[in-house]
Amino acid sequence: MALVIRRQLGEDYFDEEEVEQDATEVEKMIEEFVDEPLICHDDIPESDDEEEAAPRRPRRRTYYIRGNGRLYLDQTDFKENILDYVLRTGRNLSQTRYDKTNISFKSIGGDKESGGCKWRVYASTLPNDDVWKIRIFVDEHSCTPNGDVDMLKVPQIARLFLDKIREEPKYYMPMNIEEKIREEWGITVSRPQCQAARNKALRWIECEYDR
C-alpha cells in the first residue's frame, strides 16, 4: 500500500487518497484476519495483532502491564504498547486497518455530530524502513472513558492474569478476575469473558507442563 508522508507547517500528515486506494483489499484482509489461532503453538506474543499462542518455556512473568502505555511519533514498540495504552487511559479503541505493513486504530466515541473523537494512530513499515513505527499520531481525545473497552478480549485477559492464575488458581476465579479488572483499570468485562479467559490460561499452563 502506498503511503505518502509530506511535511507542511512542520507537521506530519498522510495522503488519505493514497492510503485508501487499496481499501477493498485491506478490508478483505481484515475480515479474514484471525487473532486467536490454536494454543500450544509458540510463546505468548506481545501484541494483539500477532498470533495468539500458548507459552513455550521458560515461563515469563507478566504481572499485568508490560509497558508504560505511552504512545508517540516514530515509536517502534507500538504493537507491544497499544493494549497498555488502553489499560492506562480507559479509552475504547477500534482497529481499523491491518495487513503486513499497515496497522491503525481510532477512538470510538465523542460527539458524532462533530465527527466523533479525533484520536487516531497509524503505524507501518516502509520499503526503506522495515521497522514498525508510528507514522501518524493524533493525540486528541474528545470522548470520555465509560468502562467499555472492546480491545480487552478473552486472549488479552488470559495473558494479563496468566501468572496470577498459575500461582493462585483457586483465588483467581471469574468473579475475582472481573473485580480486579474493574478495580485496577475501571474497565467493565463480563463474567463469561472472565470464565473463558481463565480456561484459556489454564490450557496454556497445562501445555507448559506437557512439554
Residue 109, amino acid: G
Over range 177-197, report the average pLDDT: 96
C-alpha dihedral sign at 142, 145, 148, 149:
positive
Is pLDDT of 183 > 90? yes
Task: Give the pLDDT score at 66.
Answer: 57
Read off the pTM.
Answer: 0.64
Residue 136 three-state SS:
strand
Question: Would you state the pLDDT for residue 34?
Answer: 42
Quote the cell numbers at residue 128. 526503506
pLDDT digits (tens, 9 = 90+) for 53-87: 444 444 444 444 457 889 999 999 888 789 999 99
- Reply yes or no on whether the pLDDT at 186 is more than 90: yes
Q: What is the pLDDT of residues 137-170, one digit of tens each?
A: 999 998 889 999 999 999 999 999 999 999 999 9
Domain boundaries, the chain: 5-210
pLDDT, greater one: 32 or 100: 100
